[in-house]
């Protein structure tokens, strides 16, 4: 497929990795070997002259482990406490790994308010642009310690956040590293006859109905949120790929033109406005 071979030319890349792809399933602890491979790949993309953003989950999972909690917290205050502990630990690991490759990384924590407030959104966009100019890789996460569902100021998952960041910075490719190979005709965990959909050129109601939540117990973003992210990314003019994060070398395979995962083709909408989308009923938490 010609569009696959053209992905190597994308210049501004947003890569999102979920909690289940960052941690060992058996213990919930960080998979350091996988994180090291991820950091090496991202640094190499930056060395090729591409602008790279990493949107990372994992703060709550890391904090939960550090605090000795067996199960994912349910109460918001406990989630925020875990995020406060885990975000610092997670960023420390990233900084250490990037430093091994002489790559500078920066932390950016966002809330929905960052986007809906004109001044905050303008400042965030300028910060990203300056970091790109300086050759820095921004590491983005939702600011879970201050986001509040009651005030409708949380993104709800990093799939949505990564798509919004893609739109904000004018990205041309979004890669979602998930715990599944891509979008299927049915839930492959439940139906062995489910077929992988390799290419989507138009997101219609039928496709949205296929997006059933995944069975991951670590992250919060199911397939529905990934299709919602695809709506945002493609409308803003970016291609988007869902692929399995179990092997982070899938990032390399994407730029080699290999047919892996599900590719959603860019379909830039006229007069697309990310703020209108966030405030509309289409915006899913």
With contact defined as beta carbons under 8 Å apart, do 162 and 228 qualify? no
H or E, element range at 264: strand 262-264
pLDDT, position 128: 98
Q: Rounded to the nearest 5°, which phi and psi values hold at 200?
A: -130, 115
Per residue in 249-277, pLDDT tens?
999 999 999 999 999 999 998 888 877 77
Beta bridge partners of 199: 263
The structural domains of the chain, ordered by start, are 2-279 (3.40.1160.10)
d(CA 284, CA 213): 13
Cα separations (Å) of 218 from 59, 131, 223?
Answer: 11, 31, 14
What is the distance of C-alpha 159 from the center of its chain?
5
Q: Could you tell me whether strands 239-244 and 262-264 are parallel, antiparallel, or unpaired per DSSP bridges?
A: antiparallel
d(CA 232, CA 157): 14
- CA angle, 17 as apex, 97 and 80 as ends, to 5°? 90
d(CA 107, CA 128): 11
Rg of the chain in Å (alpha carbons): 18
In terms of Cβ atoms closer than 10 Å to its own Cβ (0-12, 13-18, 19+), residue 97 is buried
Residue 218 predicted with pLDDT over 90: no
H or E, element range at 205: helix 205-210
Per residue in 119-172, pLDDT tens?
999 999 999 999 999 999 999 998 866 655 433 445 657 898 999 999 999 999
Query: Could you tell me the pLDDT band of residue 25, with boundaries at 50, 70 and 90?
Result: confident
Q: What mean pLDDT is reported for the chain?
A: 87
d(CA 104, CA 24): 26
pLDDT, position 43: 98
* Residues ≥6 apart with Cβ < 8 Å to 228: 159, 160, 163, 211, 282, 283, 284
User: Sign of the C-alpha dihedral, residues 271, 274, 279, 282?
Assistant: positive
d(CA 165, CA 273): 13
Please state the three-class secondary structure of 177-195 as a single string: EECCCCCECCCCCCCCCCC
* Residues ≥6 apart with Cβ < 8 Å to 3: 199, 239, 263, 265
Cα separations (Å) of 45 from 2, 56, 164, 165, 264?
Answer: 21, 17, 21, 18, 21
Using DSSP's 3-state secondary structure scheme, residue 171 falls into coil
> What percent of the chain has pLDDT above 70?
88
Per residue in 190-209, pLDDT tens?
888 888 999 999 888 777 76
């Amino acid at each position: 497929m010609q569009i696959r071979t053209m992905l190597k030319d994308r210049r501004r890349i947003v890569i999102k990795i979920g909690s289940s792809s960052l941690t060992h399933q058996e213990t919930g602890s960080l998979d350091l070997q996988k994180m090291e491979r991820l950091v090496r790949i991202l640094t190499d993309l930056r060395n090729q002259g591409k602008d790279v953003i990493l949107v990372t989950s994992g703060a709550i999972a890391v904090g939960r482990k550090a605090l000795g909690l067996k199960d994912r917290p349910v109460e918001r205050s406990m989630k925020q406490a875990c995020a406060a502990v885990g975000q610092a630990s997670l960023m420390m690991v990233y900084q250490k790994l990037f430093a091994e490759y002489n790559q500078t990384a920066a932390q950016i924590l966002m809330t929905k308010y960052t986007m809906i407030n004109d001044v905050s959104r303008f400042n965030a966009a300028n910060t990203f642009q300056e970091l790109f100019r300086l050759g820095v890789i921004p590491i983005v996460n939702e600011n879970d310690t201050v986001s509040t569902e009651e005030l409708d100021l949380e993104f709800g998952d990093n799939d949505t956040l990564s798509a919004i960041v893609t739109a904000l910075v004018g990205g041309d490719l979004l890669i979602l590293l998930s715990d599944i190979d891509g979008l299927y005709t049915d839930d492959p965990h439940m139906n062995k006859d489910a077929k992988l959909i390799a290419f989507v050129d138009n997101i219609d109601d039928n496709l949205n109905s296929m997006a059933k939540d995944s069975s991951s117990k670590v992250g919060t973003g199911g397939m529905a949120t990934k299709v919602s992210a695809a709506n945002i990314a493609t409308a803003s003019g970016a291609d988007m790929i869902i692929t399995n994060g179990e092997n982070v070398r899938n990032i390399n395979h994407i730029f080699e033109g290999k047919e892996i995962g599900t590719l959603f083709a860019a379909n830039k909408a006229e007069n697309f406005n990310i703020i209108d989308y966030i405030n509309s009923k289409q915006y899913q938490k």
